[in-house]
Amino acid sequence: MRDAYIVSAVRTPGCRRGKGALAQTRPEKLIVQAMKGAVERIKLDPAAIDDFMLGCAFPEAEQGLNLGRVALQMAKFPDSVSGATVNRFCSSGLESIAISALKVMAGWSEVNMAGGCESMSIVPMGGNLPRPMAEWAKENPDVYISMGITAENVAKRYGITREMQDEFAYHSNMKAATAQKNKYFTEIIPTTADKFVEKPDGTIVRETFVQDFDDGVRAETTIDGLKKLKPAFSSTGSVTAGNSSQTTDGAAASIIMSGDAVKKYGMKPLVKLVGYTVAGCKADEMGVGPAYAIPKLCKQVGWDLKKLQTESLIFELNEAFASQAIYCAQQLGIADKKYWASDSPECRINLNGGAIALGHPLGCTGSKIFATLVATMVRKGVKYGIESMCIGGGMGAAALFELCE
């Protein structure tokens, strides 16, 4: 089987749902800018692309009508470039990368684009009109359980204390604040956003501006401040707004090529896909998914789990909630504070902060944190990177990437 090389990976900023910089910008506009940014960064003619897979967790309303195809047309890519929309909830963006890469590896494509898009401001989590089958939902309520309650379940079942969660959240914000200060987020493309303003005469006008940074980072976060927050999902619980991921808007896109295409178009490959897998788990503790997916991935690629501690390796472990991220790290043998603390030279989990600080735009996140992973691997010269997602409904996904020399 051939190798699949990633030659470009970019993202828009991740901005807060409802009150952030991208809240009034339609999702189509976000993904179109990410797509254009991905090809412009490497000066690739879009006509070279065979297919586009777009991840979206709630592909309806403004995100409906096969946004993966509509976005191509809005971007004015040639009609010859086909597109589809993929939904694996929170891992939709990573799934789009895996599918696109596997097509290249199988010899079915030479150049593919993968991406993710989610406007949580415009299309709410759960969709506009969720309609689960009543009889099934009554007998199996855990399938539709609140994500916050799944995080509470993980905390209670596995002894993840409030103090542990708050400390992890604090360090996520500190890492993100440092990354912003040091301009590490080189994968971000400046993104034109809309804002609708009411004039004195009562008319509403659209104004535009450029957003080039994640607007949810809380550099002023303190442990004491986090301690004061009330539980968000259960009055007796430990999961708060401070130790949960932020709900955000954003888009991301990547270009994936065969070795032949890399040579043909004169590209410099950044990383290549080594392995990818998914795994199921109980729906009412969906956050533990990476604890199942990463060992399965290691077995697939012939790794002993001890390599997670010793190899030249970094992780993008999506922080849907601190409770599940901590539990997964425990199960993988990388829960020692030195692996995730902001002041640790041995940090290898979410070096630039995670979703607690930077946001989790659902179906976009898998593509979003992939772009961050690639940029970080290149910047630091780290040989391997693992991205892993927990997934609503009870699943985990994990992928291993290798830095190209």
Rounded Cα gap, residues 194 and 245, in angstroms: 24
Alpha-carbon gap, residue 290 to 280, rounded angstroms: 10
Please identify which of the residues 15, 117, 281, 360 carries the catalytic annotation.
Answer: 360
Burial group, residue 107, by CB count within 10 angstroms (0-12, 13-18, 19+)? exposed
Residue 171: active-site member: no
d(CA 123, CA 30): 14
Task: Return left, alpha or beta for 71; rule: phi > 0 is left, psi -120 to 50 is alpha, else beta.
Answer: alpha
Give residue for tokens 């979003």: 368
Catalytic residue chosen out of the listed positions 56, 90, 117, 364: 90
What is the rounded distance in angstroms from the CA atom of residue 9 to the CA atom of residue 260?
A: 19
Could you tell me whether strands 395-403 and 271-280 are parallel, antiparallel, or unpaired per DSSP bridges? antiparallel
Tokens 């442990």 identify what position? Answer: 223
Q: For 41-54, give one letter per residue: b (16+ CB within 10 A) or e.
A: bbebebebbbbbbb
Torsion angle of the four alpha carbons 242, 374, 180, 21, in this order, in degrees rounded to the nearest 10: -70
Q: Decide if 364 is catalytic.
A: no
- Candidates 15, 298, 328, 390; catalytic one: 390
What DSSP state is assigned to residue 349? B
Give the chain's length: 405
Beta-strand relationship, 51-55 and 111-119: parallel
Strand locations in 12-110 (E): 15-16, 51-55, 82-86
Radius of gyration, alpha carbons of the chain: 20
Active-site residue 15, yes or no? no
Active site positions, annotated: 90, 360, 390
